[in-house]
Amino acid sequence: MKLQSLREAGNIDRDLSLPTPLFEASNHAIYWLGIMEDAAFRCNCYLLIDGERAILFDPGSRPHFAQCVARVAQIMAPTSVTDLVICHQDPDVGASMIDWLDLNPELQIITSPRTQILLPYFGKSDYQWINTVEVPELVLPSGHQLRFISAPFLHSPAAFTTFDACSGFLFSGDIWAAITSNWSLLVHDFEGHRANMDSFHLHYMASNRACRGFTAKLKSLEINAILPQHGSILDRCFVPQAIDYLEQLQCGMDLEYPQKL
Ligand SMILES: [Fe+2]
Ligand SMILES: [Fe+2]
């Protein structure tokens, strides 16, 4: 199964008590793991399995840990998770890293240098980490690559996203995140979804300049889906609108300080 379009997967919203496969190709699979808490500020955790490598994106907070482990256990032994991608230092993104390190002290943290400075304050500093600035492209066992793309001030100065060249999925962290009490796994109505993204972006993202600087880095990529840490996944058909949304966005400093000082 290789999902060129997530919408072609049909009943993808149907059984959320199980890991939801989003992409599968030879030696390379991606799952949505949750989190299933019934909250408007819903967190997403994703698992990428490539050969012997099992990489969690946005593993989540400590309260999320038990459910995330349970979801992984429905696929593979949680002790076999090899890497955590932590796209910035917020606790909802990666505070559970210390619990994952208890399970497997050998696992590696993949993050940016400015994030790495802060992660030890979650409670552990004795771990291996991969520096996304020094290693902007990571070759997986299958030969496919992950590309780490910095996204400064969206919202963290240390933020980065990850593009999986095999699936064309962009793990976007807080970018294109959305807040809504009427949640679905996939976006079905982009126009209606704008307000959900506004709820997160308007006062959290730094500026239109930061948004445009980031989208300029995406020009050469063929993005099949955007997988944010909050809210709903944007399928390929909405990617051009999603990029346009960011390029037009007035947010943060644009709103707080609209006049030149
Ligand atoms: Fe954040
Ligand atoms: Fe977040």
Per-residue pLDDT of the chain (261 residues; tens, 9 = 90+): 445 566 665 556 567 788 999 999 999 999 999 876 778 888 999 999 999 999 999 999 999 999 999 999 999 999 999 999 999 999 999 999 999 999 999 999 999 999 999 999 999 999 999 999 999 999 999 999 999 999 999 999 999 999 999 999 999 999 999 999 888 999 999 999 999 999 999 999 999 999 999 999 999 999 999 999 999 999 999 999 999 999 999 999 999 999 877
CATH number at residue 45: 3.60.15.10
Q: Which helix (DSSP H) or strand (DSSP E) does residue 71 occupy?
A: helix 65-73
Using the mean position of ligand 1's atoms as its centre, give its distance from the Cα of residue 154 in Å.
Answer: 8
Q: Which ligand is nearest to the CA of 93?
A: 2
Residue 187 lies in a domain: yes
Residues β-bridged to residue 173: 228
Rounded CA gap, 204 and 114, in Å? 19
- When divided into structural domains, the chain yields a total of 1
3-class state of residue 226 by DSSP: strand
Using the mean position of ligand 1's atoms as its centre, give its distance from the Cα of residue 258 in Å.
Answer: 24
3-class state of residue 85 by DSSP: strand
Residue 245 lies in a domain: yes
**Phi-psi label, residue 176: left if phi above 0, alpha if psi -120 to 50, beta otherwise:** left
Local structure of residue 43 (DSSP, 8 states): B
What's the pTM value of the predicted model, to 2 decimals?
A: 0.95
Q: Which ligand is nearest to the CA of 58?
A: 2
Question: What pLDDT score does 18 carry?
Answer: 87
Using the mean position of ligand 2's atoms as its centre, give its distance from the Cα of residue 93 in Å.
Answer: 6
Parent domain of 225: 6-256
Using the mean position of ligand 2's atoms as its centre, give its distance from the Cα of residue 222 in Å.
Answer: 25
Q: Which residues contact 192 (CB under 8 A, 6 or more apart)?
A: none
Using the mean position of ligand 2's atoms as its centre, give its distance from the Cα of residue 261 in Å.
Answer: 30
Question: What pLDDT score does 39 carry?
Answer: 81
Each residue's pLDDT tens digit, 236-245 = 999 999 999 9
Residue 42 lies in a domain: yes
Dihedral pair phi/psi, residue 34, rounded to 5°: 130, -160
Residue 1 lies in a domain: no
